[in-house]
Structure 1
Amino acid sequence: MIADRSAPKLGLSTKLFYGFGSVGYGVKDVAFRSFLLLYYNQVIGIRADLVSFAILVALCVDAISDPIVGQWSDTVRTKWGRRHPFMFLSAIPAAGSLLFLFFPPEGMSEMQTFWYILVVGCCVRTFITFFEIPSSALAPELTSDYDQRTSIASFRYFFAYLGGVGMAFLTLLVFLAPTAEYPVGQLNPEGYRLFAIVGAAIMFAAILISSLGTLHRVKYFRMPPAREKIGPIRTLVQMKSTFAHKGFLAIVAFGVLKYTSVGMTSALNIYFGTYLWGLNSAQLAVLTIDSLTGAFLALFIAPWASRKIGKRNAAFGLAIIAVIFGSAPYVLRLTGHFFDNGDPLLVPALFAFSTVFQMCGVSSAVLTHAMVGDVVEESQLATGRRSEGLFYAANTLMQKSTSGIGVFAAGMLVAFVGIVPGMEPATIDPAIPRLLATVYVPTLIVLYIGGAGFLFAYRIDRTTHEASLAELEKRDRAAASNADDIPDPS
Structure 2
Amino acid sequence: MASTAEGVAPAPADKPPVALKLAHGFGSVAFGVKDGGFNYFLLLFYGTVVGVEPGLVGLAIFIALVFDAVSDPVVGYWSDNLRSRWGRRHPFMYAAALPVGLSYFLLWSPPEWSQTGLFIYLTVLAVTIRTFITFYETPSSALLPELSRDYEERTSIQAYRLFFGWVGGNAMSVLMFGVLLTGPLGMRDPDGFRTYGVVASVLMVTAILVSAMGTHHRIPTFSKPSPSPERFSLRRILREMFEILSERSFIALFIATVIFSIALGVNTSLAFLMLNYFWGFSEFQIFIWTTTVFISAAMSFFIAPFAVRKLGKKHATIALGLLAFTIQPLPVLLRLVDLMPENGDPILFPIMLAVNIFDLALIIAVQTVSYSMIADLVESNQVRTGRRNEGVYYAAMTFTRKTTQGLGVLAAGLILSLIAFPEGEEPSAVPQDTLWQLGAFYAPTLLILWMAALYCLSRYKIDKAQHEANLAALAEVKSD
TM-score (norm: length of structure 2): 0.90
Cα distance change of structure 1 residues 3 and 426 upon mapping to structure 2, 3 Å threshold: farther
Equivalent of 1:158, from 147, 163, 167?
A: 163
**Does the C-alpha gap of structure 1 residues 439 and 39 become closer, same or farther in structure 2, counting only changes over 3 Å?**
farther
> Cα–Cα, structure 1 residues 349 and 252, in superposed 2: closer, same or farther, change >3 Å?
same
- Deviations for 1:89-110, whole angstroms, at most 9, x for unmatched residues? 111211222233334444644x
Contact in 2 for aligned 1:262/1:406 (Cα 8 Å): yes
For residue 14 of structure 1, report the CA deviation from its aligned partner: 0.4
Task: Give the equivalent residue in structure 2 for 1:124.
Answer: 129
Given that residues 14 and 150 in structure 2 are in contact (C-alpha distance below 8 angstroms), is that contact kept between their aligned partners in structure 1? no
Give the equivalent residue in structure 1 for 2:246: 244
Q: Quick one: which of 3, 27, 32 aligns to 1:26?
A: 32
Between the aligned partners of 1:466 and 1:417, the Cα distance in structure 2 is 52
Contact kept? 1:34, 1:267, Cα under 8 Å = no
User: Counterpart in 2 of 1:269?
Assistant: 271
Counterpart of 2:388, as a letter, is R
Q: Structure 1 residues 329-338 or 442-451, which shifts more?
A: 329-338
Distance 1:2 1:288 in 2: 44
Q: Deviations over 1:123-169 (max 9, x none)?
A: 22111111100000001111111111111011100000011111112
Which residue number in structure 1 is paired with residue 333 of structure 2?
A: 331
Measured against aligned partners, the alpha-carbon deviations of 1:436-460 in whole angstroms (never above 9, x if no partner) come to 4332222211111111101122111
Which residue of 2 is the match for residue 484 of structure 1? none
Q: Which runs of 5+ in 2 are unaligned?
A: 1-6
CA-CA distance at 1:398 after TM superposition: 1.3
- On the 8 A contact 2:12/2:147 being kept in 1, the answer is no
The aligned length equals 473
Give the Å deviation of 1:260.
1.0
2:11 matched to 1:5?
A: yes
1:137 to 2:138 alignment: no
Match of 1:448 in 2: 450
Match of 1:403 in 2: 405
Q: Is 248-257 or 418-427 further displaced after alignment?
A: 418-427
Moved more, 266-275 or 59-68: 266-275
Does the CA-based 8 Å contact 1:298-1:363 persist in structure 2?
yes
Question: 2: distance between equivalents of 1:151 and 1:239?
Answer: 29
**Cα offsets for 1:260-292 (capped at 9, x unmatched):** 111222232233334334444432222123333
Unaligned runs of 5+ in 1: 479-490
Give the Å deviation of 1:346: 3.4
Residue aligning to 1:390: 392
Change (3 A) 1:199 1:19: same
Distance 1:458 1:36, change over 3 A: same
| Aligned equivalents of 1:235, 1:263: Cα separation in 2 | 32
Contact 1:287 1:347 in 2 (8 A): no
Distance 1:103 1:144 in 2: 44
Q: After TM superposition, list the pairs within 5 Å mapping 1:35-434 onto structure 2.
A: 35-41=41-47, 43=49, 51-52=57-58, 54-106=60-112, 108-109=114-115, 116-177=121-182, 179=183, 181-182=184-185, 185-227=186-228, 228-414=230-416, 424-425=426-427, 427-428=429-430, 432-434=434-436
Q: Which letter does structure 2 place at the counterpart of 1:12?
A: V
- Alpha-carbon spacing, 1:272–1:97, altered in 2? closer, same or farther (3 Å): farther
Shift in Å, 1:204: 1.2
Identity level (%)? 39
**Secondary structure of the corresponding residue to residue 81 of structure 1:** coil
Distance 1:276-1:95 versus aligned 2 partners, 3 A rule: farther
CA distance in 2, matches of 1:41, 1:275: 23
Q: Which moved more, 1:335-344 or 1:466-475?
A: 335-344
Following superposition, the deviation at residue 343 of structure 1 comes to: 3.6
Any conservation in 1 of the 2:422–2:430 contact (CA below 8 Å)?
Answer: no
Given the superposition, is the C-alpha separation of residues 432 and 160 from structure 1 closer, same or farther in structure 2, using an over 3 Å criterion? same
Residue range with higher mean Cα deviation, 219-228 or 378-387: 219-228
The verdict on how the C-alpha distance between 1:104 and 1:224 changes in structure 2, with shifts beyond 3 A counting, is: closer
| Shift, 1:193, TM fit | 3.3
Describe the shift of the 1:44–1:312 C-alpha distance in structure 2 as closer, same or farther (beyond 3 A). Answer: same
- 1:235 Cα offset (Å): 0.7
Tell me which moved more, 121-130 or 62-71.
Answer: 121-130
For residue 457 of structure 1, give the secondary structure of its aligned residue in structure 2: coil
CA deviations over 1:4-62 (Å, ceiling 9, x no partner): 33647400010011000001111111112222344445555667666555434433431
Whole-Å separation in 2 of the counterparts to 1:440 and 1:188:
32
TM-aligned CA deviation for residue 419 of structure 1: 6.1
Give the whole-Å Cα distance in 1 for the aligned partners of 2:422 and 2:134.
34
For 2:278 and 2:306, locate their aligned partners in 1 and report how far apart those are by CA, in whole Å: 37
Shift of residue 466 of structure 1? Answer: 0.5
Partner of 1:486: none
Look up the equivalent residue of 1:363 and give its one-letter code: A
- CA 1:395/1:3 → structure 2, altered by over 3 Å: closer, same or farther? farther
Shift of 1:198: 1.6
- Residues in 1 aligned to 2:129 and 2:234: alpha-carbon distance in whole angstroms: 26
Q: Secondary structure at the match of 1:4?
A: coil
CA displacement, residues 287-329 of structure 1 (integer Å, 9 cap, x when unaligned): 1233332222121111111111110111122122222122123
* 1:316 and 1:455 in contact (8 A); partners too: yes
Return closer, same or farther for 1:263/1:208 CA change in 2, 3 Å cut-off.
same
Change in CA separation of 1:37 and 1:347 when aligned onto 2, cut-off 3 Å = farther
Check the 8 A contact 1:169/1:289 in 2, yes or no: yes
- Specify whether residues 130 and 222 from structure 1 end up closer, same or farther in structure 2 by C-alpha distance, changes over 3 A only: closer
